[in-house]
Amino acid sequence: MIIGSISENQNNEKRISITPEIVKKYSSLGFEVCLSENYGQHLGIKDKEFLDLGVKIIKDDNEVISHSNIIVQLGLLPDEKISLIKENQTLIGVLNPYTNKERLEKLAQKKVNLFSLELLPRITRAQSMDILSSQANLAGYKAVIESFANFKKAIPMMMTAAGTVPAAKVLIVGAGVAGLQAIATAKRMGAIVYATDVRMASKEQVESLGGKFLTVEGSENLETEGGYAKETSEDFKKKQETLLSETLKKIDIVICTALIPGKKAPIIIKDDMINNMQAGSFIYDLAAIQGGNTAYTEVDNIVERNGVKIMGESNILNKLPISASSLYAKNVFNFVDNLIEKESKKLNINLDDEIIKNTLIK
């Protein structure tokens, strides 16, 4: 069995799917690893490091694809590469079936095995494969760092002979994995942190990290069985807007993390709320790539409205590609390990396995 990966388009994606550390683990499963030339060079990983571990380095991406039984990537391959994938080959990555439906259907018709890792069920056995959690953790941390770097005031309270500098007030919208990491990071750096979420189960987690939870009446009914936030009712939205409008008047920095899987991000911070914020405030919108949580978010651009700056990036993890690659590669290995029959060392697509059944695109 050969497992392969080719370089991503580094203008959009700097993470890699196979790291030197993980090569050893694939070898222990009986895999031969095949990578494109200069696969990790942009991260400071030279081809020699891979070669010393027994990896086969190939100049031609097309040859890597044609030789590999299993291909692991971050996202879906470009069209000119997709056409090279043959029957019974397996493609694993973040394939985004909601936006790539037609392209994936064509591959499925060719009897290609397609596994999209963002569809993993939220069960205990899948935690080591959970790419959404591992990557969101880093995104939440980095969103705080980026926000503080762009904010023009000090973050912690400072008492000096010349007077006291008050601590910055930070609001985290959405207390999922990214939001909780953002709370912890902002708190460690001395900010006063508030958080809001439609799931009342988040209250205890927020408070355990030192944040102040803003409670909206009716929150207890807005969580799916899988642990995600549900889309809210109009009545709830009005109550949430009232609470946010009043809170935002005293907030310096907002980190938006609210996403609904497979749908456009909900607009939570409306234009009138932004107009009532203090000039010099800053909003970082982690939901930018799915439309954003504010009325004015633009991908990879800083927008200024009424003295408030709003920032959203297409891929914040490009700023932490080494850490993000390390975690992603481990997640993918654990998924592949679950796919392989231990005795025969062959692919075993067992549809009785909830992990395999949920991630397989038919």
Same domain membership, residue 81 and residue 20: yes
Q: How confident is the model at residue 225 (pLDDT cuts 50, 70, 90)?
A: low
296 is catalytic: no
Q: Is 59 a member of any domain?
A: yes
Report the pLDDT value the prediction gives residue 157, as an integer from 0 to 100: 97
Report the pLDDT value the prediction gives residue 275, as an integer from 0 to 100: 92
pLDDT exceeds cutoff 70 at 118: yes
pLDDT exceeds cutoff 60 at 200: yes
Report the pLDDT value the prediction gives residue 260, as an integer from 0 to 100: 77
Q: How confident is the model at residue 220 (pLDDT cuts 50, 70, 90)?
A: low
Same domain membership, residue 148 and residue 104: no
Report the pLDDT value the prediction gives residue 231, as an integer from 0 to 100: 60
337-357 average pLDDT score: 91
Same domain membership, residue 205 and residue 187: yes
Q: What is the CATH number of the domain that holds 346?
A: 3.40.50.720
130 is catalytic: yes
Q: Is 131 a member of any domain?
A: no
57-78 average pLDDT score: 95
Its sign, for the CA torsion 336, 339, 343, 344, is negative
Report the pLDDT value the prediction gives residue 188, as an integer from 0 to 100: 97
127 is catalytic: yes
Q: How confident is the model at residue 120 (pLDDT cuts 50, 70, 90)?
A: very high
Same domain membership, residue 143 and residue 7: no
Tell me the pLDDT tens digit for each residue of 15-34.
999 999 999 999 999 999 99
Nearest to 51 by CA among 26, 79, 23, 75: 23
Same domain membership, residue 330 and residue 312: no
Q: Is 101 a member of any domain?
A: yes
Which one from 83, 103, 122, 245 is the annotated catalytic residue?
A: 122
pLDDT exceeds cutoff 70 at 229: no
Residue that terminates a domain, selected from 286, 301, 318: 318
Same domain membership, residue 142 and residue 161: yes
Tell me the pLDDT tens digit for each residue of 292-310.
999 899 999 999 999 999 9
Q: Please state whether 299 falls in left (phi above 0), alpha (psi between -120 and 50) or beta.
A: beta
Report the pLDDT value the prediction gives residue 215, as an integer from 0 to 100: 84
pLDDT exceeds cutoff 90 at 336: yes
Q: Is 127 a member of any domain?
A: no
pLDDT above 90 as % of the chain: 80
Same domain membership, residue 356 and residue 228: no
List of E strands, the chain: 2-5, 32-36, 56-58, 70-72, 90-93, 113-116, 158-160, 163-165, 169-173, 192-196, 212-213, 253-256, 282-285, 301-305, 308-312, 360-361
Same domain membership, residue 345 and residue 333: yes
Q: Is 128 a member of any domain?
A: no
Nearest to 31 by CA among 63, 59, 62, 5: 5
> Total domain count for the chain?
2
Report the pLDDT value the prediction gives residue 99, as an integer from 0 to 100: 83
Cβ-defined contacts of 74-79 (< 8 Å, 24+): 74/8, 74/13, 74/15, 74/16, 74/17, 74/328, 75/8, 75/13, 76/100, 76/103, 76/104, 77/6, 78/9, 79/103
Q: Is 30 a member of any domain?
A: yes
* Under 8 Å between Cβ of 111 and 88: yes
Same domain membership, residue 343 and residue 255: no
Same domain membership, residue 96 and residue 164: no
Report the pLDDT value the prediction gives residue 222, as an integer from 0 to 100: 55
Same domain membership, residue 248 and residue 158: yes
Same domain membership, residue 185 and residue 88: no
278 is catalytic: no
Q: How confident is the model at residue 235 (pLDDT cuts 50, 70, 90)?
A: confident
The Cα angle at residue 13 between residues 294 and 62, in degrees rounded to 5: 140
Q: Is 41 a member of any domain?
A: yes
Tell me the pLDDT tens digit for each residue of 89-116.
999 999 988 889 889 998 999 999 999 9
Which one from 10, 127, 208, 314 is the annotated catalytic residue?
A: 127
Tell me the pLDDT tens digit for each residue of 126-174.
999 999 999 999 999 999 999 999 999 999 999 999 999 999 999 999 9
- How far, CA to CA in Å, does 234 sit from each of 87, 184, 200, 237, 277? 47, 31, 18, 5, 24
Q: Is 130 a member of any domain?
A: no
pLDDT exceeds cutoff 60 at 278: yes
Report the pLDDT value the prediction gives residue 241, as an integer from 0 to 100: 86
Residues in a beta bridge with 255: 172, 284
Report the pLDDT value the prediction gives residue 218, as an integer from 0 to 100: 59
228 is catalytic: yes
Residue 101, domain extent: 2-119+321-361
Which one from 228, 245, 337, 353 is the annotated catalytic residue?
A: 228
Report the pLDDT value the prediction gives residue 280, as an integer from 0 to 100: 96
